[in-house]
Amino acid sequence: MVSQAGKVHIFDGVAPNMRDLGGWKVDGGHIAYGKLFRGARLERISREGKDIFLDELGISVDLDMRGSVPGESKAGPVVEGVEYLLLPVERYLGRGTGKTEELYQQAIRCIIGWLGEGRAVYFHCTAGADRTGTLAFLIEALLGVSESDLSKDYELTTFFGRHTRQRNSRAGLFQSCVLYEMVSYLRRYGYPQVQSINQLVLNWATTRHSDTVDPLTLEEIALLREYMIELD
């Protein structure tokens, strides 16, 4: 595998729709490789896939966002020796209800803590698409990835599934307009006419959404950037 900024690392033979968040450009650098990985469920991972997961990639945390959708009740740890955390996010921003916002904030906070311990993290839902794509979008936006590249990363999922991921509202019956709905939702948290999507996500992240989970702090987001950005 190459490790050049701008190169997306996609993995075959581990989990469907699996890739490294590294490589996307930000001001002055790029997202570091080998720290955060996104993908689909791990139940069908092979012995060889587990070897890649554990030994080659060094992943030691499995953050599972399943469990709230019917049919996902069997969510649980799969790879022995990997710390497992279940955060059952019902849906994605724009359609989620109940604890959706606070669970995404909690997921980001947990990831910051694991990164601070020097650990590599794999986060996923069932298909590694919408809930996983939402968390990746939020993290990448906080790191300073451009809106164009945020959309591109989200739409890469199209190559792994049945449904096209679109960035606008023209999605048809067999397409997904999750990205459009999510961005429309985030526009509530600022002034989209003059603020970037990165600022809107920052506003969302630092807003209290419940009485049980504190919003992310600017200090925590600074740590996320410290852990995840590699200077060019």
Write out the E strands in the chain.
Answer: 10-11, 18-20, 25-26, 29-31, 36-39, 59-64, 83-86, 120-124, 164-165, 175-176, 229-231
Q: Is residue 58 part of a domain?
A: yes
More confident residue, 157 or 132: 132
Query: If you average pLDDT over residues 68-85, what whole number do you get?
Result: 84
CA 165 to mean position of chain CA atoms: 15
In a domain, 63, yes or no: yes
The pLDDT, as a whole number, for residue 172 is 54
Q: Is the full-model pTM beyond 0.85?
A: yes
Contact (CB, 8 A) for 124 and 132: yes
Q: What is the mean pLDDT of residues 124-140?
A: 94
Of residues 49 and 71, which shows the higher confidence score? 49
What is the average pLDDT across 100-121?
97
CA gap 137, 154 in Å, rounded: 7
pLDDT of residue 174: 46
Residue 19's DSSP bridge partners are 10, 38
Which pLDDT band holds residue 15 (cuts at 50, 70, 90)?
Answer: very high
Position 176 scores a pLDDT of: 60
Within-domain flag for 192? yes
pLDDT at 159 over 60: yes
159 domain-assigned: yes
> Residue 177: what pLDDT?
74
Question: How far is 100 from 94, CA to CA, in rounded Å?
Answer: 10
Domain total in the chain: 1
Could you tell me if residue 77 is inside a domain? yes
Please indicate, yes or no, if residue 4 is contained in any of the structural domains. Answer: no
pLDDT of residue 223: 98
The CATH number covering residue 78 comes to 3.90.190.10
Contact 98, 10 (CB under 8 A): no
Distance of CA 208 to the CA centre of its chain: 20
DSSP annotation of 52 reads I
Q: For residue 230, tell me if it sits in a domain.
A: no
AA identity, residue 90? E
Cβ 140 vs Cβ 26: under 8 Å: no
What pLDDT does 138 receive?
98
- Kindly report the average pLDDT of the chain as a whole number: 89
Tell me which residue range forms the domain holding 219.
10-224
Mean pLDDT of 202-216: 95
Position 3 in a domain: no
